[in-house]
Structure formats: structure tokens, C-alpha cells
Amino acid sequence: MRLHVPIGLRWSDLDAYGHVNNAAMFGLLEEARIHAFWAGDESFDGRPDETVPATRIFSGGPDAGTITLIARQQAEYLAPIPYLRDPLDVEMWVGKLGGASMDVCYEVYSPSGVAPRVLFARAQTTLVVIDAGEQKPRRITDAERAVIEQILDAPLVFRER
């Protein structure tokens, strides 16, 4: 199972070439991760979160007990992304689940419902789960693990250079 996360572009994501900037792409992936993995609470959202995806395993907001750090990430750009009003359709899954880390994989597609479907980019982020108090990696719990296993799939294989 893969998640489908809709990620809207902003005009400021474009650079002077008129396409989504290569660095801006990583900001879009960050938004997709927040949407997929971070649960809200009242202080975070202003109201109870009634649409929590099953995968929102980390309790939310900048002051929460868990933070995640990026250990590495990689993107492969297959086609330039023009300005699009409709949100990109970001497919997400976990390609590898470690003790305190996981590899999040993405395929960034044209907006849902538009034909032909275009694959703009593929990417992977290695996330490390950090105990915010101790500022050290902590084990992914069994409960968290059970959730993530639902979106476990084969890791991305990037094209040969």
C-alpha cells in the first residue's frame, strides 16, 4: 500500500526558468512527510483532528516529544514541473524500516485525475527518530512499527548514472 498525498505548489516554488526549482522539490517532500506522519492535537491544529491517517504516528507540533532528523536524501528529476494549480499527487511508502530510522520513498506525479499521468521525480529520505528531550535517536516502538509495516514496499532503485 502506498499513500497518496496531495501537495499544492506555490508560485514561489518556480524559479526564473519557469519551473519548480530543484531545491524547492525537497520542501514539497517535507510537506508530504508532515501530512503523512505527524498527528495533530488541539494546540497544533486548533481543533481535534478528525481525519488522522492511520500513518500519523508521531504526535504533533514543534514542542512534541519526538522529532525527526534527516540523515540523507536523494532526488532524481525526470521532467520539469510547470506551474500547476491542482496539487501534485505524491505517492509515498517506506522502503526500509530500521531500528531508529526509516527510508521514506516518493514518486511525484502530476495532479490526480489528469491524463496522461506524468512522473516528475522520484526521491528517498532517510529519517531518524529522535527523542526530543535526550536529543538522541530512539527505537521506533512496536506500535509505530505495526503502522509503518502497512506502507512497507520495495525500496526505490534509482537509475544508473
Interface residue list for a second copy (CB under 8 A): 8, 10-12, 14-18, 21-27, 29-31, 34, 40, 43-47, 49, 60-62, 67, 69-77, 80, 82-86, 96, 103, 110-111, 113-114, 126, 158-159, 161
Instruction: Please report how close the Cβ of residue 135 comes to a second copy at its closest, in angstroms.
Output: 10
CA distance 41 to 48: 6
Nearer to a second copy, 83 or 146 (CB): 83
Nearer to a second copy, 88 or 147 (CB): 88
Nearer to a second copy, 60 or 147 (CB): 60
Please report, for residues 59, 130, 159, the alpha-carbon distance to residue 122 in angstroms, rounded to integers and kept in the order given. Answer: 27, 26, 10
Burial of 125 (0-12, 13-18, 19+ CB in 10 A): buried
Per this entry, what is the length of the chain?
Answer: 161
Closest by CA to 2, choosing from 114, 116, 105, is: 105
What is the CA 74 to chain-centroid distance, rounded?
A: 13
Instruction: Please report how close the Cβ of residue 157 comes to a second copy at its closest, in angstroms.
Output: 13
Nearer to a second copy, 23 or 146 (CB): 23
Instruction: Please report how close the Cβ of residue 46 comes to a second copy at its closest, in angstroms.
Output: 4
Instruction: Please report how close the Cβ of residue 32 comes to a second copy at its closest, in angstroms.
Output: 11
With a CB cutoff of 8 Å and minimum separation 6, the contacts of 16 are none
